[in-house]
Structure 1
């Protein structure tokens, strides 16, 4: 897939859609159940009911953070959005895209010697989709790495 004509049009977003649907659905269901319990327990005062709703909202918020992970590739580089962080990378900064057997998600080897996990491509529920997404991102990185003026020589 190194031919530019085989690559997808940019921008392209990679995210674990099945996992995202499951997390958000579970978050809504948990919030509704906890809220329903708060309303059904007549012995609770309004402050206690509010605390039930706050716990449900907190659980939903945590699951929504887990569901927000993604990798967005555009003309100038890649944005990696993980659970609690966002990092913008130029194409030339990405030396290698790795998804080895047993890896929980893709790792990006960077020009500064570090490795960045990219949770937006994870083989958990949809292994074949993650492998295909990792291959596309790898091909994009290889095709675009030499196109910037900051091209690093190693």
Structure 2
């Protein structure tokens, strides 16, 4: 989702998310809910409790697909918010040491100053590999641009 020229980070704020994957998951979740609910309503021999259980199951399955569509990475002037399937973490730019998307990785990994690595599922090469590579480069450029040491002399 970045609109940056090569070598220059995108304008902030910017949100990175797997748009194609998200569209597929949201569409599948909605379709699944509608189809199972219609089946529950159209089957004459089901009791009201069975109908409710069909609809509940449809809602549960759709909810799982909607959760899988949740991941995103939001970068702003103050830092980065990584939203994964069931978690959200706010990072300051200085906490991000490196942005990695190696061949075969399922998503971007952020190497952090506390020695840990945080998966950022909002940038994943699944359906749109080139988009993920572009987004990873844009986030890397932003992190490098914003993570400069505060005690460095200003240019000039």
Gaps of 5+ in 1: 150-154
Question: Of residues 81, 98, 105 in structure 2, which corresponds to 1:79?
Answer: 81
Give the superposed CA RMSD: 1.5
Residue 139 of structure 1 corresponds to which residue in structure 2? 141
Partner residue in 1 for 2:38? 36
* TM-score normalised by structure 2 residue count: 0.90
Q: Partners in 2 of 1:131 and 1:65 — Cα distance? A: 23
Partners of 2:29 and 2:130 lie apart in 1 by 26
How far 1:75 moved relative to its partner?
Answer: 0.2
Structure 2: state its 5+ residue gaps.
152-156
Aligned residue for 1:146, secondary structure, equals coil
Structure 1 residue aligned with 2:24: 22
Give a deviation string over 1:22-60, Cα, whole Å, max 9, x none: 000000111011001101110111111011001000111
Instruction: State how many pairs are aligned.
Output: 147
Name the CA distance, whole Å, in 1 between partners of 2:150 and 2:26: 38
- How far apart are 1:7 and its partner, in Å? 2.0
Quote the residue 1:115 is aligned against.
Answer: 117
8 A contact 1:2–1:139 mirrored in 2: no
Residue equivalent to 1:92: 94
Q: In 1, Cα distance between the equivalents of 2:33 and 2:98?
A: 41
C-alpha contact (below 8 Å) 2:80/2:93 kept by paired residues: yes
Tell me what 1:152 maps to.
Answer: none
Distance change (3 Å), C-alpha of 1:148 and 1:62? farther
1:122-133 map, 5 Å: 122-133=124-135
Q: 2:103 matched to 1:101?
A: yes
**Are 1:91 and 1:145, in contact at CA under 8 Å, matched by a contact in 2?**
yes
Runs of 4+ deviating beyond 3 Å: none
Measured against aligned partners, the alpha-carbon deviations of 1:78-123 in whole angstroms (never above 9, x if no partner) come to 0000001000000000000000000000000000000000000000
After TM superposition, give the deviation of residue 147 of structure 1 in Å. 6.2
